[in-house]
Amino acid sequence: MLGIVMLDTVFPRPLGDIGNPATFPFPTRLHKVSRASPQKVIFERASGMVDDFVQAARDLESQGCKAIVTSCGFLALHQQIIAAAVQVPFASSSLCWLPTLYLAFGGARHVGILTASSANLGPAHLAALGGSMDSPIAGMPVDSEFARVIVGNQPQGDMQRIHAEMLALADDLVATQPQVRAILLECTNMPPVAQAIAQRTGRPVFDLVGLARQLMA
């Protein structure tokens, strides 16, 4: 059973989203951390809430989970603290992929990152997991439907428009950074369009859903 430490959200989670149990071919257990909004984690770095995330991971472990992930890549900052608190594999973020991808694709400049907020994904997040700011980073526009619904945590939104915005972001990344050979999705709400991004860009796409499956293999 996979444990998923969830932010306190109400926005839609279609198939492929890490918070949709049907995304995985094995059982999952979700543990919502009260008051952990996207704004709190993305803009405030989960200030004052790290102990809550540690306890959530411990609870999932005690309930029999064999591996644990989270629903927000910005929790990368707290990877070491939370991982040290449990005895099962723990991945806070898809950014855990970065060292492997750098080796596989010839360095940081060849691995592009799509994120919920490029203004808030900084050197500390990447360095916490062996990443580098040499990786090109593209973030969802602040005036996008994605930002309104996902970052703004709204219960309803135009998911087709959001998916189109993600595809447009990927198109822009490879158009402006043609040296990119692989794409990493920081945001756990982006995997529903991972296959479409790969088909559109001709680049392999990596995300936390894929990493979770590896941890459970």
The answer on 98 and 65 residing in a single domain is no
**Residue 9: what pLDDT?**
98
The mean predicted confidence, pLDDT, of the chain is 98
Determine, yes or no, domain membership for 214.
Answer: no
Domain C-terminal end among 44, 74, 93: 93
**Residue 26: what pLDDT?**
98
Domain C-terminal end among 40, 68, 93: 93
Confidence grade of residue 168 (pLDDT, cut at 50, 70, 90)? very high
What is the tens place of the pLDDT at every residue in 200-214? Answer: 999 999 999 999 999
> What would the mean pLDDT of 19-35 be, rounded to a whole number?
98
**Residue 43: what pLDDT?**
98
Determine, yes or no, domain membership for 217.
Answer: no
Q: How many CB atoms lie within 10 A of CB 17?
A: 20
Confidence grade of residue 165 (pLDDT, cut at 50, 70, 90)? very high
CATH of residue 73's domain is 3.40.50.1860
The answer on 197 and 154 residing in a single domain is yes
Q: What is the domain extent for residue 12?
A: 2-93
The answer on 133 and 188 residing in a single domain is yes
Confidence grade of residue 27 (pLDDT, cut at 50, 70, 90)? very high
What is the tens place of the pLDDT at every residue in 29-72? Answer: 999 999 999 999 999 999 999 999 999 999 999 999 999 999 99
- Number of domains comprising the chain: 2
What is the tens place of the pLDDT at every residue in 92-105? Answer: 999 999 999 999 99
Determine, yes or no, domain membership for 216.
Answer: no
DSSP 106-162: TSGGGEEEEES-TTT--HHHHHTTT--TTS-EEE--TTSHHIIIIITT-S---HHHH
> What would the mean pLDDT of 166-171 be, rounded to a whole number?
98
The answer on 68 and 27 residing in a single domain is yes
**Residue 29: what pLDDT?**
98
The answer on 122 and 46 residing in a single domain is no
Q: 3-class SS at 84?
A: helix
User: How far is the C-alpha of 66 from the C-alpha of 72, rounded, in Å?
Assistant: 19
Confidence grade of residue 16 (pLDDT, cut at 50, 70, 90)? very high
Query: By percentage, how much of the chain surpasses pLDDT 70?
Result: 100
> CB-based burial of residue 47 (10 Å sphere; 0-12 exposed, 13-18 middle, 19+ buried)?
exposed
DSSP 167-202: HHHHHHHHHH-TT--EEEE-STTSGGGHHHHHHHHS
Q: How many CB atoms lie within 10 A of CB 4?
A: 25
**Residue 85: what pLDDT?**
98
Q: 3-class SS at 217?
A: coil
